[in-house]
A and B are shown apart, each in its own frame.
Chain A
Amino acid sequence: AQSVTQLDSQVPVFEEAPVELRCNYSSSVSVYLFWYVQYPNQGLQLLLKYLSGSTLVKGINGFEAEFNKSQTSFHLRKPSVHISDTAEYFCAVSDKTGGSYIPTFGRGTSLIVHP
């Protein structure tokens, strides 16, 4: 079974500063990687996903992530954050198991953007 480690439970940052949220996963032959965001009192929504091809994936709201197979990482980045980016961010990994889609989620990283 896959496992996902989000190394930071909380990341405080000032507005307009760059940010990186880290994600590592246990190795597997073929994985698909996702980042979801959860705003307060809402469900999770997809930011971006890596399926194949270019290792740099661009998502919504100016976020991007880079898949690094050798380091089994999929870190999320944004060059300049806004107050509205304050939210919980979840990394997830899935592989094909039993013919169905079973994602494994990390524990989440709380991004706190200060003015």
Chain B
Amino acid sequence: DARVTQTPRHKVTEMGQEVTMRCQPILGHNTVFWYRQTMMQGLELLAYFRNRAPLDDSGMPKDRFSAEMPDATLATLKIQPSEPRDSAVYFCASVRDRGSTDTQYFGPGTRLTVL
């Protein structure tokens, strides 16, 4: 049963610390999305990659957030320095990308709390 995995599932950190979240997309999926979910804003698209290349990161605060795909099996989202307003659940999703008809498969999320 193929699924997207995310680590860690929970992270509590102090303001100013670096946070790294990891995502392993489903094998064979070539498009990866990062989302942030909060009560206030709902589900926001932060960035996405296709064939490991970043296509759009306009939803991400550039001064502190960065997203990369070092290889086809790993996507990372880093926050440095973290701030309390970054507290949210961060989801990764992958798609086989046979077109816009494809289903997104979501990971279980990383719940980040910045104190």
Binding site for B on A (CB under 8 A): 32, 34, 36, 41-46, 49, 51, 90, 94-98, 100-103, 105-108
| Contact between chains at A44 and B104 (CB < 8 Å) | yes
Binding site for A on B (CB under 8 A): 4, 31, 42-43, 45, 48, 50, 55-56, 91, 93, 95, 97, 99-104, 106-109
A-B contact count (CB 8 A): 59
| Contact between chains at B104 and A103 (CB < 8 Å) | yes
Chain B residue nearest to A43 in the complex (CB): B106
Q: Chain A contact residues: over half helix, strand or loop, or mixed?
A: strand
| Contact between chains at B101 and A43 (CB < 8 Å) | no
Closest 7 CB pairs of A and B: A43-B106, A107-B42, A94-B100, A101-B100, A44-B106, A105-B43, A46-B103
| Chain B residues with CB below 8 A from A42, complex form | 108-109
Chain B residue nearest to A106 in the complex (CB): B42
Report the bound CA distance from A55 to B87 in whole Å.
Answer: 40
| Contact between chains at A108 and B42 (CB < 8 Å) | yes
| Contact between chains at A43 and B108 (CB < 8 Å) | yes
A-B contact pairs, 10 of them (CB 8 A): A34-B103, A41-B108, A45-B106, A100-B100, A101-B31, A101-B95, A101-B99, A101-B100, A103-B104, A106-B42
